[in-house]
Amino acid sequence: MTLTEKILARASGKAHVEPGANVWVNVDVLMTHDVCGPGTIGVFKREFGKDAKVWDPRKVVIIPDHYIFTADSMSNRNVDILREFVREQGLPYFYDVIDDPNGHWQFDASRGQTKAQYGSRYTGVCHTTLPWKGHTRPGEILFGTDSHTCMAGAFNQFATGIGNTDAGFILGTGKLLIKVPETMRFFLEGAMQPGVMAKDVILHVIGDIGFDGATYRAMQWEGPGVYAMNMDDRMTIANMAIEAGGKNAMFPCDQKTLDYVRERTAENGTREDFEPVELDADQKFIYDKVFDLSKLEPTVACHPDPGQRRLAKEMSSVQLDRAYIGSCTGGKTSDFLAFAQVVKGRSVKIDTFGVPATTKVVRELKETQWDGQSVWNILESAGVRMTENASCAACLGGPVDTFGRLNKPMKCISATNRNFPGRMGNKESEVYLASPYTVAASALTGRVTDPREFVS
Ligand code: SF4
């Protein structure tokens, strides 16, 4: 069996499963956030009764992260609905925006968008919070009411996005009926050249198979190129499985995975008794292809979908209005460090926004010193508009006062993961997806730029 099949077999109490089989699986973690959480809670109450209790409070993780730093009162209210539910159910894993469990969240626009407006428990973007707080564990099943839940596949976990109805059902039962996907294998060999990042790998692959090329399939990553990658790189690749239509992403578990997970489960007091799945010799794939990482070049996914692949070096005639770095895919500390490497001592030429994925990233960028200066200051000195309010922000547009949102037709190069029309705000805008290196180089020149001009 493939890694995905092995996890689904174990979670459904079977010795063996085949692609296409429908199986009931026991859920290890259900995650929801401020956009889908209220709807999920509504389904749960409607179907199980207003006094119903969730199946296992320690398996529910609630992370407000999407429409947080906005004066939109309906969005603020969504965070309050989550808090009321957490209080009623006694849920331990709620990363609230404010510290008062009986309080109300209200964003204070008069204080501006860039200075922190959150309490001590707030974390930021859900998919980056889950591993940080020890909720992603090898061999387990994670469902989330968000399509990029597939990011946790980096940790040898079966993780996928679901709708509010399925999530409401899980809240009541801890189970879900799921069809076992076929598996595609992506075997990575060779080493990435300077200037090339994990983001280029996934953009290259999606360009190869198309933005629907993995529809309802598991995307399994193997090979020496995978083991050479750190966990951030694996997360970037796993995150974008859904941009090819994938049901989930799946990485093998190695010492890097174990070290990362053990450190965080111990730090945050989450479950430590997980059981990874190992590679079998007799796996059957619906697709199997080798990619030589040493041949890859900085890559861009052009408007209007993530499958529109071109090389950055062929796009220097595309003039830009904005650059953006942030999101679960591109707002990790390692992403900002790569970005800072390029802009250090230089000045951006176009409006450039930086939104850290989590409050931990904010802290790390402020604490990391290069030549006596924090990376945060290096970014601001280069002209990047940084906000301490870690969140999804303009990655998915959001209310009109969202930091970095495209409020009029413009061309934006972005380290995020999705570029369908209207994704970052205005429907007439064009979004170009690229690596943090490429976004940084392009911010410096005002046109799509191959970062190898700046990274040796
Ligand atoms: S950062 Fe973007 S892709 Fe990630 S969860 Fe938020 S909206 Fe979705």
How confident is the model at residue 375, as a pLDDT?
A: 99
Model confidence at 341, pLDDT cuts 50, 70, 90, reads very high
pLDDT, average across residues 184-201: 98
Tell me: do 259 and 312 sit in the same domain: no
Neighbours of 224 (CB within 10 A): 12
Q: Classify residue 301: in a domain, yes or no.
A: no
Q: Classify residue 273: in a domain, yes or no.
A: yes
pLDDT, average across residues 257-282: 97
pLDDT, average across residues 327-351: 98
Measured at the alpha carbon of residue 169, what is the angle toward residues 164 and 170, in degrees to the nearest 5? 95
Tell me: do 229 and 332 sit in the same domain: no
Number of domains in the chain: 2
Structural domain boundaries enclosing 15: 1-296
Model pLDDT for residues 433-445, shown as the tens digit of each residue: 999 999 999 999 9
Rounded to the nearest 10°, the torsion over CA 138, 142, 146, 148 is: 20
C-alpha 187/C-alpha 288 separation (Å) is: 7
Tell me: do 138 and 168 sit in the same domain: yes
Residue 147 CA, closest ligand 1 atom number: 8
Model pLDDT for residues 135-151, shown as the tens digit of each residue: 999 999 999 999 999 99
How confident is the model at residue 317, as a pLDDT?
A: 98
Q: Classify residue 227: in a domain, yes or no.
A: yes
Model pLDDT for residues 421-434, shown as the tens digit of each residue: 999 999 999 999 99
Does residue 247's CB lie within 6 angstroms of at least one atom of ligand 1? no
> In this model, does residue 31 exceed pLDDT 80?
yes
pLDDT, average across residues 281-297: 98
Tell me: do 175 and 319 sit in the same domain: no
pLDDT, average across residues 17-39: 98
pLDDT, average across residues 78-82: 98
Neighbours of 41 (CB within 10 A): 24
Does residue 146's CB lie within 6 angstroms of at least one atom of ligand 1? yes
Please state, rounded to an integer, the average pLDDT across all residues of the chain: 98
CA of 79 to the centre of ligand 1 (A): 17
Contacts of 211 (CB under 8 A, 6+ apart): 243, 244, 245, 305, 306, 307
Tell me: do 45 and 90 sit in the same domain: yes
CA of 392 to the centre of ligand 1 (A): 5
pLDDT, average across residues 302-318: 98
Does residue 395's CB lie within 6 angstroms of at least one atom of ligand 1? yes
Ligand 1 mutation target, pool 417, 420, 424, most atoms within 8 A of CB: 417
> In this model, does residue 205 exceed pLDDT 80?
yes
How confident is the model at residue 281, as a pLDDT?
A: 96
Does residue 414's CB lie within 6 angstroms of at least one atom of ligand 1? no
> In this model, does residue 448 exceed pLDDT 90?
yes
Tell me: do 190 and 235 sit in the same domain: yes
Tell me: do 334 and 263 sit in the same domain: no
Rounded to the nearest 10°, the torsion over CA 224, 225, 227, 233 is: -170
Model confidence at 199, pLDDT cuts 50, 70, 90, reads very high
Closest residue CA from atom 1 of ligand 1: 327
Closest residue CA from atom 2 of ligand 1: 395
pLDDT, average across residues 366-380: 98
> In this model, does residue 156 exceed pLDDT 80?
yes
How confident is the model at residue 456, as a pLDDT?
A: 77
Does residue 33's CB lie within 6 angstroms of at least one atom of ligand 1? no
CA of 327 to the centre of ligand 1 (A): 6
Respond yes or no on whether the N-terminal peptide bond of residue 304 is cis (omega within 30° of 0): yes
Ligand 1 mutation target, pool 69, 127, 151, 160, most atoms within 8 A of CB: 127
Q: Give the domain-ending residue among 241, 262, 296.
A: 296
pTM exceeding 0.95: yes
C-alpha 223/C-alpha 233 separation (Å) is: 14
Ligand 1 mutation target, pool 33, 129, 416, most atoms within 8 A of CB: 416
> In Å, what is the CA distance from 363 to each residue of 178, 332, 395?
39, 12, 21
> In this model, does residue 75 exceed pLDDT 80?
yes
Q: Classify residue 45: in a domain, yes or no.
A: yes
